[in-house]
């Protein structure tokens, strides 16, 4: 139910119209564990009359069973819905709640306080206009208080309330409040937070939540609700910026209408305005602003619209329509801040999917500049990022995208990374700026292309990508395949794992990150050799599916043949010509595939070779015939 209003009983239509036109504020509550975040939200819901009678009855029953307030109501139970949350008395997942007052509508996200749930906190903060940072008056500013403050600053939340809670437990002492304010101000200055409001309160007793507290006559500032009802929402700020419309859908119901639908992410647009489409750079003029309720004379940030243009230009889902005077940027390499949100670490060189707005491209982290120690703000060296880690990284994409720096526009400057195989979201990122190399380095046109080189050799270039355990027989079979092809006059090159590590990759070890980089480099070399018209044979363990998929994606689909040398571990270990398995078993060789490092076998290889039932020579003959069958050997 909505909050109490006389209009509900007297004129419901007028009430609904007024409710529809209210502004919407999204805010989060954050801070350390047990600072009272859930209790505060429960109090706000209770005071704004957002609870039905059966909800109140359920809260009374739950308070007796799970509550921490004796015989009194435990407002935190209105928000902590998971059984584990109630049993432990903590928030684990992000909980969203809606409530309203006569002046404004609100969506509040209750975010976890534990460090291990940092990714959940980032999720809740990503769309917030303001943050209520809870501080326990008894404990003051803690490490997690600083951590969440840094994340709030990082995510571009500009309006901060430091809610110094549980003042009733320190006898409403003004010196306690002033000391915490001074401590926090000095830290806030280090991270660039300048719009900070301090409110002493008791979420449990309701002091300074809705009405000024009689227990703290020395405080003359705003109540929390007074602040929330008047603080500027992000849409108001964005309306003052340059126009941005990320295209979510190309609307073509018939031959006479072609519109571009999306939610305005910044600025104002009117018919007749000159626009530019990024990343293509094409320009046109706005003809109409179409909505379900009719055409508009103008549209502002936050509105969902469809634009029609005066010219027929190519625009696709994921493009960004901007004002021609101040267009969005366009680039394929960036410096970013990345929050890693997955149990498996980030590995530079591994390809991921990057989604920004409605655009999805392939992305690779090329370099981790440093990791941020959120507790001390220190920059530390890092080769990977683990769960909840935050790092500043260089990112390379497979094509240009339209963007703005995240500090200017969160909608066109924020992105997520997605695992290509599992489709899980693994990271969230913020674009700082485009790297200069993305503007200065371009593909050079050449007149002699891959087709011409292949025709000269009378063969179809391709990659035979051998994968399997150490000792499976990859190098032996690959060498025999090349000998047979060479004897028939074909142009080949064999890239072998050990040989490559003597030169191109001699700087790489055998950590998971180095193995990813090893395969990335080999894949890029194989791509160049295919472009030269060669039949390329690679013999690498290449233990991870993601890297093999990356190698496949660099060439045409019919130019990549994954050959799984399927040899059981006990058979490969029994061969052990180099004595590597014995060293690994003795603990002298770390990160050895099949022993203490995983091998992800292909799920659907193009060719499977069982070396238990087939000799190396038979396997090589079979592969040559398979190449011939696929049309890879020309005449």
42 is in an annotated binding site: no
Q: Which two tokens stand for residue 13?
A: 């239509």
Which of 48, 202, 438, 542 is an active site residue?
Answer: 542
64 is in an annotated binding site: no
Q: Which two tokens stand for residue 465?
A: 């990508």
373 is in an annotated binding site: no
Angstrom distance (rounded) from CA 112 to CA 106 = 19
Q: Are 543 and 511 in contact (CB under 8 A)?
A: no
Q: Residue-wise over 426-457: b if at least 16 C-beta within 10 A, else e?
A: bbbbbbebbbeebeeeeeeeeeeebeebbeeb
284 is in an annotated binding site: no
31 is in an annotated binding site: yes
Strands (E), 238-298: 244-246, 249-254, 257-263, 268-269, 274-278, 282-290
36 is in an annotated binding site: yes
Task: Count, in order, helices (H) and strands (E) of the chain.
Answer: 20, 27
113 is in an annotated binding site: yes
CA 352 to mean position of chain CA atoms: 10
Element (H, E) at 200: strand 196-200
450 is in an annotated binding site: no
Nearest to 91 by CA among 29, 149, 137, 49: 29
The dihedral of CA 263, 266, 268, 273: what is its sign?
negative
DSSP symbol at 69: S
Q: Are 564 and 620 in contact (CB under 8 A)?
A: no
101 is in an annotated binding site: no
Beta bridge mates, 107: 26, 98
468 is in an annotated binding site: yes
Q: Which two tokens stand for residue 69?
A: 């307030």
- HSE-CB of 419 using CA atoms within 13 angstroms: 17
34 is in an annotated binding site: yes
597 is in an annotated binding site: no
Angstrom distance (rounded) from CA 429 to CA 364 = 13
Q: Are 193 and 227 in contact (CB under 8 A)?
A: no
Task: Report residue 568: phi and psi, to 5°.
Answer: -55, 150
3-class DSSP string for 548-603: HHHHHHCCCHHHEEEEEEECCHHHHHHHCCCCHHHHHHCCCCCCCECCCECCCCCC
489 is in an annotated binding site: no
167 is in an annotated binding site: yes
473 is in an annotated binding site: yes
38 is in an annotated binding site: yes
Q: Which two tokens stand for residue 261?
A: 């639908």
- Respond yes or no: is residue 542 known to be catalytic: yes
457 is in an annotated binding site: no
Per DSSP, the residues of 72-104 read S--GGGGT--SHHHHHHTS--S-EEEEEE-SSE
Residues at the binding site for GTP are 31-38, 110-114, 165-168
Q: Which residues are annotated as a binding site for ATP?
A: 468-475
Catalytic residues: 542
* Residues that constitute the known binding site: 31-38, 110-114, 165-168, 468-475
């Amino acid at each position: 139910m909505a909050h109490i209003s006389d209009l509900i009983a007297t004129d419901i239509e007028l009430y609904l119209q007024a409710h529809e036109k209210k502004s919407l504020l999204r805010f989060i509550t954050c801070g350390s564990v047990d600072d009272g975040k859930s209790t505060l939200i429960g109090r706000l819901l209770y005071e704004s009359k957002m609870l039905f009678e059966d909800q109140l009855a359920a809260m009374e029953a739950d308070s007796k069973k799970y509550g921490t307030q004796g015989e009194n109501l435990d407002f935190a139970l209105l928000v902590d819905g998971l059984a584990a949350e109630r049993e432990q008395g903590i928030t684990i997942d992000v909980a969203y709640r809606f409530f309203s007052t006569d002046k404004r509508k609100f969506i509040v996200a209750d975010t976890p306080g534990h460090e291990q749930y940092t990714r959940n906190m980032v999720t809740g903060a990503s769309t917030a206009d303001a943050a209520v940072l809870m501080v326990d008056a008894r404990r003051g500013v803690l490490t997690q208080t600083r951590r969440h403050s840094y994340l709030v600053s990082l995510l571009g939340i500009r309006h901060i309330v430091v809610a110094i809670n549980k003042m009733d437990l320190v006898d409403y002492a003004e010196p306690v409040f002033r000391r915490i304010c001074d401590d926090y101000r000095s830290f806030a200055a280090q991270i660039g937070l300048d719009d900070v409001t301090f409110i002493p309160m008791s979420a449990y007793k309701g002091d300074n939540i809705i009405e000024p507290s009689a227990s703290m006559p020395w405080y003359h500032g705003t109540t929390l609700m007074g602040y929330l009802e008047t603080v500027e929402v992000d849409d108001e700020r964005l309306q003052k910026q340059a126009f941005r419309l990320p295209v979510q859908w190309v609307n073509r119901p018939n031959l006479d209408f072609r519109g571009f639908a999306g939610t305005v992410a910044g600025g104002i647009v009117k018919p007749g305005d000159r626009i530019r489409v990024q990343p293509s750079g094409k320009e046109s003029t706005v003809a109409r602003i179409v909505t379900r309720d009719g055409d508009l004379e103008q549209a502002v940030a936050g509105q969902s619209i469809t634009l029609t243009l005066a010219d027929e230009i190519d625009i696709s889902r994921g493009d960004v329509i901007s004002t021609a005077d101040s267009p969005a940027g366009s680039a394929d390499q960036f410096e970013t801040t990345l929050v890693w949100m997955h149990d498996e670490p980030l590995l530079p060189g591994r390809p991921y999917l990057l989604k920004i707005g409605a655009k999805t491209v392939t992305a690779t982290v090329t370099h981790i500049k440093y990791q941020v120690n959120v507790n001390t703000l220190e920059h530390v060296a890092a080769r990977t990022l683990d769960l909840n880690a935050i790092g500043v990284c260089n990112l390379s994409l497979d094509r240009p995208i339209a963007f703005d720096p995240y500090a200017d526009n969160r909608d066109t400057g924020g992105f997520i990374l997605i695992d290509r195989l599992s489709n899980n979201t693994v990271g969230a990122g913020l674009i700082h700026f485009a790297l200069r190399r993305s503007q200065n380095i371009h593909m050079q046109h050449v007149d002699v292309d891959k087709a011409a080189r292949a025709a000269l050799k009378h063969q179809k270039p391709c990659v035979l990508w051998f994968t399997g355990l150490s000792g499976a027989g990859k190098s032996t079979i690959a060498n025999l395949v090349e000998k047979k092809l060479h004897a028939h006059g074909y142009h080949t090159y064999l890239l072998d794992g050990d040989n490559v590590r003597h030169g191109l990759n001699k700087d790489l070890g055998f950590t998971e990150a180095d193995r990813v980089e090893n395969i990335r480099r080999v894949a890029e070399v194989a791509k160049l050799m295919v472009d030269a018209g060669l039949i390329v044979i690679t013999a690498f363990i290449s233990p991870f599916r993601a890297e093999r998929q990356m190698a496949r994606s660099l060439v045409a689909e019919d130019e990549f043949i994954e050959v799984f040398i399927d040899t059981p571990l006990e058979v490969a270990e029994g061969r052990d010509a180099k004595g590597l398995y014995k060293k690994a078993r003795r603990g002298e060789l770390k990160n050895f595939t099949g022993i203490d490092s995983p091998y992800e076998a292909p799920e659907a290889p193009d060719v499977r070779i069982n070396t238990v039932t087939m000799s190396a020579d038979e396997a090589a003959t079979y592969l040559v015939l398979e190449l011939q069958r696929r049309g890879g050997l020309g005449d």
